[in-house]
Structure 1
Amino acid sequence: MPPMGPPNRNRNQKKQKPKNTKATAKRLFSYLEQEKHKIAAAFVCVLVSSASTLCGSYLLRPIINGLIDSTKTSQQKITSLMAGLALMAVVYVLGVGATYLQGRIMISVSQGTLKRIREHLFRKVQKLPVRYFDTNPTGDIMSRFTNDVDIIGEMLNSTLVQIFSGTITLIGTLALMLYTNWVLAVVTIVVSPIIAKIGTAIAGKSRKYFMKQQTDLGKVNGYIEETVTGQKVVKVFNYEENVVNEFSELNQSLRNSQVKAQFISGIMGPCMNAMSQVNYTLTACVGSIIAFASRWGGGVPFSALDIGGLTVFVNYSRQFSRPINELAQQVTNIMSALAGAERVFNVMDEAEEIDEGKKLVLNKVHGDVLVEGVTFGYNPDKTILKDVSVFAHPGQKIALVGSTGAGKTTITNLITRFYNIDEGKITIDGVDIKDISLECLRENIAMVLQDTHLFTGTILENIRYGRLSATDEEVRQAAKTSCADMFIKNMPEGYDTMLKGDGSNLSQGQRQLLNIARAALSKAPILVLDEATSSVDTRTEKHINEGMDALMEDRTTFVIAHRLSTIRNADAIMVLENGEIIERGTHEELLKKKGRYFELYTGLKELD
């Protein structure tokens, strides 16, 4: 029978279609709004830098013409040369300074923008429903925080400036070329659209490959994350060769998409350079003819062109092709960044956990819980719970037992509104939980799950996670209640011992004791224990059960347990099978019935 819990995360999930490029770009650039003054300053620096490059190149014309001027003496030529070189030095130093400032400013702009994107993305993740995390690989979500955001950063850091710089250089070069010799300018202008057309055609093919590359990278990261996390399971079942083969398939897919993306991106440069060389050669040949005709041909119907002008124009023809080449290459960077931005925005566009209803805030919760006629399925085509009804009065202990996939954890997921029910209703103290604000609902429910999770920090801080306003003494008392105080005192720094890597320096049982202490610290009147003692040994379990009695006192408690010996004293035991409650009663009453519970209990008891 397939498990009836939250749907498994599928690394081969269907890929979302890319959104409109213009809309994505507009949304991405909206994050630059706060940096507009810095961007304006950076663009002024780019303008100065580009102007210095163009002016510096044009200064070659008077220098060369002065050196070949037969009317000047050698001393005059040397003086003219030194003055020209000094002026060029001043112009280029000014350009270098502007380039330096532009770089510093754009680094500040890009990092500030990335900071806001990460904050918005992280804030969005906190608002997403549990369903999203159940159906998306953790590694793929992490990839959007790292790889995709980093690619956006690279584009903001350099591509925008290079596009603006290339555009300014292109316009300035064209203006100076027309001023120097309009005939040669026409020759260059005729060839340039061909270069631009080639670049556009290549860039158009690159976008889909970059999007595929980012998607495949997310899959690889997701698989690595889940395999490394489950490494013990991999080893104990000798699954190493299988995971290597599965990883090889994903890695091969990533390689193929990267090869296509990088190949398309890589051929753009050589193609542009080849066309630039054709343009350069054609310009030099035609320019030489015009310069010769201007010098020796007398009344030639072409505009005049001297040797210095020819030298400058040939240099400009190369500069004219360079920004076109760079602009074409930057298109691939933009496509890659937009592909990453789409993946980031896909998360931001996910439906948030909606707090519907009246959003009531209950001043005092007694813990009277009623689950009435609830039907639910994680997927519309598969029902998990079928007309389930459970009630618990304040202070009662309700146990949920049954085979794996019977729907036990699903009931607690619905009480906490991790998922919303399809039919029926759930009330707390007579109020429908849909009308209670999520914050109020969940602050009145404490949970201890089978899978433990600890955060980087001290033991004291991890226990205080249950109630941030708790004093140190209250934290220690909660640890004593859960029997965690005994091992904490033996730690090198006691309650100030640092935990890292989800508490990797603790045993599984010790980590669970801290989670139980966290729940004990909470003053929530409703308590959910989902296999809370499954990770501890029998001796430790006995100590925990003693603490649990104090923990559950005056609290409405729902207990999910496979060790039926731990729920003998429950006020009511619900036996679930295939999403339905087939038996209910106390431990003694169910044993007398000799039904499903009797089979489960006697079977487990024989194993004790």
Structure 2
Amino acid sequence: MADEKKKINQRDTLKKVFRYLGKYRIFVVFSLLLAAVSVALTLYVPKLTGRAVDCIVGAGAVDFPGVFRVMVQIGVCTLVTALAQWLMNVCNNKMTYQVVQDIRNEAFRKIEILPLKYIDGHPYGDVVSRVIADVDQFADGLLMGFTQLFTGVATIVGTFGFMLSVNVTITFVVVLITPVSFLVANFIAKRTFAMFRTQSEVRGEQTGLIDEMIGNQKVVQAFGKGRDVTKKFDEINGRLGKAYLRATFFSSITNPATRFVNSLVYTGVGITGAFAVVNGSLSVGQLSSFLSYANQYTKPFNEISGVVTEFQNAVACAQRIFELIEEEPQPPEPENAEELKDIAGNVKAEHVDFSYEPEQKLIRDFNLEVKPGQKIAIVGPTGCGKTTLINLLMRFYDVNEGRISVEGLDIRDVTRRSLRAGYGMVLQDTWLKTGTIRENIMMGRPDASEEEVIAAAKASHIHSFIRRLPQGYDTQITEDGGGLSQGQKQLLCIARVMLCRPPMLILDEATSSIDTRTEIRIQEAFSRLMEGRTTFIVAHRLSTIREADVILVMKDGQIIEQGNHESLLKKGGFYRHLYESQFVQTAGART
């Protein structure tokens, strides 16, 4: 049953590969024609060589003009063959790398529309390995297939025809033995596919670990986990080594096994041909041609067996990349999806249920109504659903039940782009892209003027620091911020929002990495920015949300208390307990 399923998967994968190849069928046709020309001329040369041998009758009886004519013909055939092979390789390379480009483009486009659930549930390194390493392996196998498979098959067919024209009996001997090569190659190929598949999966696991460790090297070193990580890497590397060894060992058996069969063919031709020469039914020149044909006839079986093995690896890699391409994308926007315009800040959540996993309930029967310009603070213990609520507001995840609306429109009925353009986000986890400081600030508004960029930087109190950098706003930084501190990276993200000035704001621990003095200034800038704007503030430090119009206290995915700072303290409930425990801890720390 498992073998049958594997065969179906391989067939489906091959169909998908041929579908990509369909766009470049003109190159396939040219490659086939050029392969036929190359093979025909290559196979014609042994026949010419046989004629040259027959021109040498004996000592003093050599037909030199005949030999010369044959040599000229061989030279012309060789030159035309070389040109045909060069053009064939050009066609094969063009075709292969166009297909690879199309697959990578489609994979990258799919990544952009995949639901965050997929990205959150798969190691980044494994996704990178599929798009980079697996596609490269697929390209190598595909290129080898087109370069050697076409010429190999054409050589076998062409040689068979030439041998029949020389001697039918000896051709029958050759054809009788060669099927053994197919049986050997087929036997090994069936067993190598699963090994190459395992090899690709373990390689993706290794890439994931490397990506994770490089991105979190400071944490690894800070907690002294270097040895543990090294052990884990060694374990994965060991499994990868075994997978490589098994796949390479089994695939390497193919060539010597088929060569053994080919030697039997050559021996059979030599013995049968020798008797034919003695009987006078075959000339010496024809025997030499036949031996050359026998060698050329069996040689493609070695190449094809190697191609089959490599192709198993290519198909295994293609299967992984197609799995990514065929992943279910995020739900498409309805055809009549509206653009959110003139956003005042009316947000409403009605009977919202949501959970990342069906068996683990998170947000249940959540209700909220926000009026324009209100500051909504969301507090509660870790895991209560604060950040999840932000994900739902931005529609990074869709609700399981209920609805969330902005300006009276269900957010599932508006375009994601217009919805997200209505929010400005500053998160605890900063995100920068490789580029200049200016490009990072202008991410939300590429058309902003220099004066507007500087004004946003001044508002976020990062301008003076940027001026001290070697190239100022043109200083290049990497995605991890390079030499910038966590606070400076967060200020850059704040400047990005200051420049966009969206109608609604989401601040998720937006000043968690900033010193107290700068935080006071940033809070003042935020206060000016929040005037007239609906703002959602996720905070652990309750001192930062005293001025909020409404404080939502969440626990186990539900709002258990709601009100402003003073009213919640008077209630003496969960909020007061949180506030006093924080205040006592702070006071204790000061003493």
Matching of residue 429 in structure 1 with residue 416 in structure 2:
no
Moved more, 432-441 or 351-360: 351-360
Residue in structure 2 matching 1:438, options 413, 416, 421: 416
Match of 2:589 in 1: none
Q: CA deviation at 1:482?
A: 1.8
The 5 A counterparts of 1:280-429 are 280-294=266-280, 304-357=281-334, 358-429=336-407
Secondary structure of the 2:378 match is strand
Counterparts of 2:563 and 2:554 in 1: how far apart (Å)?
Answer: 12
Counterparts of 1:394 and 1:272 in 2: how far apart (Å)?
Answer: 78
The aligned length equals 581
Match of 1:480 in 2: 458
Counterparts of 1:342 and 1:446 in 2: how far apart (Å)?
Answer: 39
Residue in structure 1 matching 2:52, options 60, 63, 84: 63
Q: CA deviation at 1:241?
A: 1.5
Counterparts of 1:167 and 1:571 in 2: how far apart (Å)?
Answer: 78
Counterparts of 1:273 and 1:21 in 2: how far apart (Å)?
Answer: 27
Residue in structure 1 matching 2:547, options 553, 564, 569: 569
Secondary structure of the 1:90 match is helix
Paired residues of 1:355 and 1:437 also in contact (CA < 8 A)? no
Paired residues of 2:431 and 2:479 also in contact (CA < 8 A)? no
Counterparts of 1:57 and 1:18 in 2: how far apart (Å)?
Answer: 41
Residue in structure 2 matching 1:52, options 41, 50, 57: 41
Gaps of 5+ in 2: 587-591
Gaps of 5+ in 1: 1-15, 295-303
Counterparts of 1:37 and 1:597 in 2: how far apart (Å)?
Answer: 71
Counterparts of 2:499 and 2:585 in 1: how far apart (Å)?
Answer: 35
Q: Deviations over 1:434-479 (max 9, x none)?
A: 2222122111112112211111111111111112332222222222
Residue in structure 1 matching 2:154, options 152, 155, 168: 168
Residue type matched to 2:264 in 1?
V
Matching of residue 213 in structure 1 with residue 190 in structure 2:
no
Counterparts in 2 of 1:61 and 1:77: CA distance versus 1, 3 Å: same
Q: Deviations over 1:542-563 (max 9, x none)?
A: 2211211122222111111112
Residue in structure 2 matching 1:521, options 474, 499, 516: 499
Moved more, 114-123 or 22-31: 22-31
Counterparts of 2:180 and 2:86 in 1: how far apart (Å)?
Answer: 34
Q: CA deviation at 1:44?
A: 2.5
Residue type matched to 1:272 in 2?
T
Q: CA deviation at 1:356?
A: 4.4
Counterparts of 1:103 and 1:293 in 2: how far apart (Å)?
Answer: 45
Counterparts of 1:236 and 1:491 in 2: how far apart (Å)?
Answer: 28
The 5 A counterparts of 1:234-273 are 234-273=220-259
Paired residues of 1:43 and 1:161 also in contact (CA < 8 A)? no
Aligned identity (percent) is 38
Paired residues of 1:444 and 1:523 also in contact (CA < 8 A)? no
Residue type matched to 2:306 in 1?
Q
Counterparts of 2:260 and 2:71 in 1: how far apart (Å)?
Answer: 32
Paired residues of 1:359 and 1:438 also in contact (CA < 8 A)? no
Paired residues of 1:454 and 1:462 also in contact (CA < 8 A)? yes
Residue type matched to 2:492 in 1?
L
Residue type matched to 2:66 in 1?
S
Paired residues of 2:92 and 2:146 also in contact (CA < 8 A)? no
Counterparts of 1:201 and 1:276 in 2: how far apart (Å)?
Answer: 17
Q: Deviations over 1:34-74 (max 9, x none)?
A: 3222332233222222122111122111111111x14x844
Q: CA deviation at 1:133?
A: 0.6
Counterparts of 1:555 and 1:525 in 2: how far apart (Å)?
Answer: 6
Counterparts of 2:477 and 2:179 in 1: how far apart (Å)?
Answer: 62
Paired residues of 2:501 and 2:529 also in contact (CA < 8 A)? no
The 5 A counterparts of 1:469-548 are 469-548=447-526
Matching of residue 598 in structure 1 with residue 584 in structure 2:
no
Q: CA deviation at 1:147?
A: 0.9
Residue type matched to 2:433 in 1?
F
Moved more, 123-132 or 482-491: 482-491
Match of 1:84 in 2: 70
Moved more, 410-419 or 515-524: 515-524
Secondary structure of the 1:59 match is helix
Residue type matched to 1:596 in 2?
F
Paired residues of 1:106 and 1:158 also in contact (CA < 8 A)? no
Counterparts of 2:480 and 2:227 in 1: how far apart (Å)?
Answer: 27
The 5 A counterparts of 1:126-141 are 126-141=112-127
Residue type matched to 2:47 in 1?
Y
Match of 1:28 in 2: 17
Paired residues of 2:144 and 2:307 also in contact (CA < 8 A)? no
Counterparts of 1:364 and 1:167 in 2: how far apart (Å)?
Answer: 67
Moved more, 336-345 or 29-38: 29-38
- The TM-score normalised by the length of structure 2 is 0.95
Secondary structure of the 2:160 match is helix
Q: Deviations over 1:277-335 (max 9, x none)?
A: 121112211211121122xxxxxxxxx21111111111211111111221122111221
Residue type matched to 2:574 in 1?
R
Q: CA deviation at 1:19?
A: 6.0
Counterparts in 2 of 1:336 and 1:307: CA distance versus 1, 3 Å: same
RMSD, matched Cα: 1.8
